[in-house]
Each structure stands twice: as structure tokens, then as C-alpha cells.
Structure 1
Amino acid sequence: MRAIILAAGMGLRLVQPEGQQKPKCLLRFGESSLLERHLQLLKTVGVDEIVFVLGFKHEQVEAELAAIDWKPHTEVVVNREFSLGSVLSVHTAAEALTRGGDVLLMDADVLYDERILEPLVAGAGPVNRLLIDRDFEAGDEPVKLCVANGVPVELRKQVLADLQFDVIGESVGFFRFDETAARRLAELVAGYVATGRANLPHEEAVRDLLLERSQVFDVADVTGAPWIEIDFQNDVKRAADEVMPQLRQLAGALR
């Protein structure tokens, strides 16, 4: 199993002080950066093939990876047009996405522990899987995952009023695809780029994959597990004050 971690964005909504901007995956909570936590948690669940998609100030992340000296070595691909949407980052990682075997596609700006990751990687595969948290704050920001009779029927921030579903929650932003689904996602993403839609979030392509019903997806419920996606300064405070105290201690330092 391979993990592709999307870490190219500029994180403009975080509004970091002038001259102190850095990729969000380098934000530190406790003694570890988000990047270090990803590596350690993936190692804990047996995922040791990791590809980072970098962009904004990628040299900073590469320096952090070199300092950690994680074994086996991680791979890095660079999205040079990182100011566009994350769909372009997924396209940049197309080779890793279509290399074979199950693939995890993960946002880098999430603080979590193994209670989020273990349900995603459970089972020998091949598996297509999404994560849902039913305890979420309503509003325009969360990406909603709607499920009807066990089948995902929507993945968007805005949900149509007449959509029929029996479960709604927030998508954690981590996805698992088997080899066939990963190849189809790569095709969809390439189509976005070819038709001038490289500015869109990659969830739109994942949504297309869900709604065309060519692949079977299951949904793992992680309600109650601590996690937070860090987009705004208030998220940094919540991560430190509310989420960190709930997280299990990492198995060991990487450096």
C-alpha cells in the first residue's frame, strides 16, 4: 500500500506573518510537525511507501525530510503551479497513483492519530474506502459526505436540498483506492487539467468517480476519533488546545 500526501498548497487562509510563511505540513504540535506525524503514523500501520506532492516553499519540506532521514526514503514530486487547485497536485502524482496496488490519498494539513488511519487501511484489499465523521459543524466549510443505503451519493461542501440520503458527515480528506479506481481517478484528473479545470479541488474528481458508479466504495465511520483539518488560525488554536490532548502518544521520535 502506498500513501500520496498532498502538501503543495500555499495555505493562504492561514494568514501567516510576512516573512514567516511555511507549508502547513511543517506546523508543529507538541514535539512533532504534521509531516513527522504522518510518517510515524503511516509506519505504525505498515505503510512505508510514501510520496509527497510539494509545491509552495518545497525546499523547506525537503530539508525537513532530509533532517528526519526516514527509511525507506520518501519520494517527492513537485507541483510547480501550486497556486492552482489540488486536482493539479493529484495529476502531478499520476505515476505514483497508477503504479499498482492500493493507494491512500491524503491531505497533509490534518492532525490526527491512528484511530483515523487504522479504519482506512484495515483489510488486505483491494478496497475503495472513504472516512466519515458524523459529528461535524454545519456550514459551508466542511466537505460533506452523504450516504444512502451504504452507498456514497455526494461529496461536496454544498448539498442539494432535495438529495436523498440517510447519513451525512464530514469527509476526513483521506481516501483509499484500489488499483482500478486509482487508474480511473488519474484519467478523471487528467481530464480536468486538459479542459482548463486545474484550479479545482481534487475532491471534485473523487466525486465524479463516486457518482459514475463504476467502482464500489465502502465508508468507515470514524465519529468520535480526534482530528482536525488546519485551514485557519483558529484551527491552529483548536488543534493545540482541543485535539492534541486527545491524541495518543506517538510510538517514537523520528529523529
Structure 2
Amino acid sequence: MRAIILAAGLGLRLQQPPQQQFPKCLLRFQGVTLLERHLRALRALGVDEIELALGFQPEQVEAELDRIEWQPRPAIVLNPRYDLGSVLTVHTMADALTRGGDVLLMDADVLYDEAILRALVTGPSTDRLLIDRDFETGDEPVKLCLKDGVPVELRKQLAVGLQYDTIGESVGFFRFREETARRLAQIVAGYVTSDRQNMPHEEAVRDLLLEGGRRYDVADVTGLPWIEIDFPGDVARAETEVLPRLAQPAGAVR
């Protein structure tokens, strides 16, 4: 199993002064970066093949890998146009998507309980989504909607009249079997060749889910602590609401 961690973005919504900006995967909580937390959680579950999709200030991420002396060193792929949409970042990871075996596609800017990752990774080869049914309504969460267990939508804004029986927030982590990951790579390539590289990669994942012909496991992680960090208020919530409920990663380098 291979993990692709998307960490190329600039994180403008954190509203940091330009001279203080850094990749969001280097946000620290209790002295431990999100990146280190990802790496340790993946290793604990037996996932050592990790590729980082970087763009903004990759040298800072390299320095963090040096600081924590992480081995085996994750492969690094650069997206020089990180200022465009994340679909282009996923496109730069085409080799990792199509090399074979199950693939984990993960946003880097998430602080989460390791049980969430365990729900994604455990078990035989499968296509798997994560859903949290306890979420705040509004335009920001990416909603995952199901009808009879089948995905019918993955978007922030839902169409009027959409029929579903289950709704929740997507955690931003996906597991794809080899053939499904290859198909996602094809869809993403279509976005780029049709000049839609400025789109979020969730749109390409949505196309994958809605084209049918596959069964998706949906792991319900409702009640487990996690937060996607986009805004300054998310950092505060991460520190006061989520972090106290998490265990310190074993062997973390402060």
C-alpha cells in the first residue's frame, strides 16, 4: 500500500504575513508537525511507502524530514504550479497512482485521531471512503452523500433536489484499489488537458465516484476527533478541541 500526501499548497487562508508563510504540513501541535504525525501514523499501520506532493517552499519540508531523521525517506514530487488547483498536484503524482497496489490519497492539513487512518487502512484491498456524520453545516465542508450505501455526491454545495439518505463530511482521505487509482489518474489527466487544472482534486474524485461500476466501502468515523486546518480559527479549534483528545505520536521529535 502506498500513501500520497498532498502538501503543495500555499495556505493563504491562514492569513499569515508573507514573510512568515510556510507549508501547512509544518504546523506544530504540542511541538509535533502535522507531517511527522502523518508519517508516524502511517508507519504504525505498516505503510512505509510514502510520497509527498510538494510545491510551496519544499526546502522547509526537506528540512523537517532531516530534523526528525525519517527513514526510509519519502519520495518527493514537486508541482511548480502549486498556485493552481490541487487537481494539478494530483496529476504530478500520476506515477504513484498508477504503479500498482492500493493507494491512499491524503490531504496534509488534517489533524486526526490515528483510529481514523486505521479505519481506512485495515483490511483487504478495497475502495474506501471516510464519512463523519457529525459536521457543521455551511459552504466549507466537503459533503459526502450516500443513497443505499452508494455515493451520489461529493461537493461543498449540493444541488437542489439531490436524493440521499446519508450525509456527512468527507475527511479528505481516500483508499483506492490499483485499477481505481489508475482510473483516477486518467480523469485527472483529462482535467489538465481540458484546461481545468485550477480545480480542486475533489472534483476529479467526485467524477470517479459518480461514474458507477464500483463498490465503495464507507467507513463511519463519526465521534472520532479530527479537523481540516484552513483558517486561523481552525488552528485554535485544533489546539483546544481536537488535540486534547489525541495521543502523542510515539517517538515524536520535539
Query: What TM-score comes out, normalization by structure 1 length?
Result: 0.98
CA RMSD in angstroms comes to: 1.0
CA contact (8 A) 2:32 2:253 kept: no
1:26 and 2:18 aligned: no
Q: 1:209 touches 1:215 (CA, 8 Å); kept in 2?
A: no
The Cα shift of 1:115 comes to 1.4
Give the SS at the match of 2:46. Answer: coil
**Paired-residue identity, %:** 69
Three-state SS of the structure 1 residue aligned to 2:239 is helix
Q: Tell me whether 211-220 or 129-138 shows the greater mean CA deviation.
A: 211-220
Verify: 1:187 aligned to 2:170, yes or no.
Answer: no
| Equivalent in the alignment of 1:157 | 156
Structure 2: how far apart are the matches of 1:254 and 1:76?
A: 21
Residue number in structure 1 paired with 2:85 = 85
| Separation of aligned partners in 2, 1:73 and 1:83 | 26
Cα distance between partner residues in 1 of 2:121 and 2:165: 25
> Post-superposition shift, 1:251?
2.0
Q: Distance in 2 between matches of 1:48 and 1:254?
A: 18
Q: Distance in 2 between matches of 1:45 and 1:254?
A: 19
Q: How many pairs align?
A: 254
CA apart distance, 1:62: 1.2
Unaligned runs of 5+ in 1: none
Q: Does 1:173 align with 2:176?
A: no
Q: TM-score under structure 2 normalisation? A: 0.98
Task: Report the AA paired with residue 213 of structure 2.
Answer: S
Deviations 1:105-158 (Å, cap 9, x if unpaired)? 000000012111010001021x00110000000000000000111111100001
* Structure-1 residue corresponding to 2:46: 46
Counterpart-to-counterpart distance in 2, 1:69 and 1:147: 42
Distance 1:218 1:161 in 2: 26
Further displaced range: 62-71 or 111-120: 62-71
1:19 partner SS: helix
Shift of 1:18: 3.1
Q: Is the 8 A contact 1:40 1:254 kept in 2?
A: no
Q: Which residue of 1 aligns with 2:227?
A: 228
Instruction: Report the Cα distance in structure 2 between the residues aligned to 1:31 and 1:156, rounded to whole angstroms.
Output: 33
Distance 2:253 2:180 in 1: 33
* Distance in 2 between residues matched to 1:250 and 1:67, nearest whole Å: 16
Q: Which runs of 4+ in 1 moved over 6 A?
A: none
Cα distance per residue 1:81-121 (max 9 Å; x no partner): 00001100100000011110000000000001211101000
Q: Residue type of the partner of 2:75?
A: E
